[in-house]
Amino acid sequence: MSLEDIVLSTVPSVNGHTIRLTHRQWVHITESHDYMVGNREKVLETVADPDYLVTGELGATIALRHYAATNITEKTCSAIYRDEEDGFIITAFLTSRPDKIMRRRTTIWTRPQLT
């Protein structure tokens, strides 16, 4: 097993699948969005306990979770992943415009107290 294939963490999705975060994907996330360094727990929490789930591209799921404080400011974490058996996180980023993501997508799940 190469370093890239090492699983850093796993979390359960809302749908009961085990979703893994590999070293390769974490490097991809932090190289694409350097501010994500230090936000791995937020990404995992976003997948495991999101505020909303919306449809992504090519069968992916987008989890959104608001954070009053991150290492940059108040933001919403967006985690894109495959919600399936042996699922995995594709990428993640912080946004101040979750409404822009939600407007273009179909909401497929909402945290019960947010309805």
Inform me whether the pLDDT recorded for 114 exceeds 60.
Answer: yes
Please tell me the predicted confidence (pLDDT) of residue 115.
57
- Put the strands of the sheet holding 61-67 in their side by side order: 7-12, 18-22, 87-95, 75-81, 61-67, 52-55, 107-110
Q: Per 3-state DSSP, what percentage of the chain is helix, strand, and coil (rounded to 5)?
A: 30, 35, 30
What rounded mean pLDDT belongs to the chain? 95
CB distance 14 to 52 below 8 Å: no
Say what the pTM is: 0.94
Inform me whether the pLDDT recorded for 1 exceeds 80.
Answer: no
Please tell me the predicted confidence (pLDDT) of residue 113.
84
Q: Cα–Cα distance between 75 and 70 in angstroms, integer?
A: 7
Percentage of residues of the chain with pLDDT beyond 70: 97
Please tell me the predicted confidence (pLDDT) of residue 15.
96
Inform me whether the pLDDT recorded for 4 exceeds 80.
Answer: no
pLDDT, one tens digit per residue, over 24-67 is 999 999 999 999 999 999 999 999 999 999 999 999 999 999 99
Q: Cα–Cα distance between 17 and 20 in angstroms, integer?
A: 10
Please tell me the predicted confidence (pLDDT) of residue 32.
96
DSSP 56-95: -GGG-EEEEEEES--SSSSEEEEEEE--STTEEEEEEEEE
Percentage of residues of the chain with pLDDT beyond 90: 92
